[in-house]
Structure 1
Amino acid sequence: MTHSARLAKSCFAGWEIYIVTDSPAPGDWPEHGFDRVSPVPTLAERTVALAALGYEVVDGATWEWHELDDGDTGPVRFLGVLDVRRIPSGDGR
């Protein structure tokens, strides 16, 4: 089963990566904060964060960037999206 990893700059603490799961409550989604506003986390940093959350990149997946805006005069935010899957546990589960 694949899930969507999202990389976004939060309103509070800077960049964060989170995994959108089947849980209807975003507070239940696994997340990792990078505790900085700049620079954007590198691919290597994102891969390490995903592994710490128990996920890996789906073969052939690449980050896609979406522009989010609050209207013509509001600030523009960017959201990175990537397909991921749980890292196999090795115990047959």
Structure 2
Amino acid sequence: MKEHTAQMSIRGGRWCLYVALMTAPGSQWPDHYFGRTVQVPTVAERSRALTALGFVVVDGAEWAWEEYGETPDDDTSQVRLLASVRVRSRDGGAP
């Protein structure tokens, strides 16, 4: 089973979950926008979004959070959050 990385961050003012498919351009990656910016989508909401996109979290995988500066090498720039988790196709095949 081929694994991929699902990531979630704020895009265009809303939380966006997407699956990074390295065989496709970023503009063609499956994505889901949540309707809010302040509250982080729950694990259950993320799971439902992944299922709707045709993916499930790999057994034993957990969401990991990373923070990074909006401007690299500038510790005064706004901090952004990026969550990621390993996923596979819901039916076990390649997407």
Settle same-fold status: TM greater than 0.5.
yes
Q: Which runs of 5+ in 1 are unaligned?
A: none
Distance, in Å, in 1 between the alignment partners of 2:92 and 2:61 is 21
Q: Return the letter of the residue paired with 2:7.
A: R
Q: Give runs of ≥4 in structure 1 deviating > 6 Å.
A: none
Distance, in Å, in 2 between the alignment partners of 1:28 and 1:88 is 20
Q: Return the letter of the residue paired with 1:86.
A: S
* 2:42 is the alignment partner of 1:3: no
Equivalences for residues 38-77 of structure 1 within 5 A: 38-69=38-69, 70=71, 71-77=74-80
Equivalences for residues 12-23 of structure 1 within 5 A: 12-23=12-23
TM-score under structure 2 normalisation?
Answer: 0.88
Give SS of 1:74's match.
coil
In percent, how many aligned pairs have the same letter?
Answer: 40
Residue 23 of structure 1 and its aligned partner are, at CA, apart by 3.0
TM-score under structure 1 normalisation?
Answer: 0.89
- Paired residues, number: 89
* 2:29 is the alignment partner of 1:26: no
Distance, in Å, in 2 between the alignment partners of 1:89 and 1:62 is 19
RMSD: 1.5
Distance, in Å, in 1 between the alignment partners of 2:60 and 2:86 is 9
Give SS of 2:35's match.
coil
Q: Which runs of 5+ in 2 are unaligned?
A: none
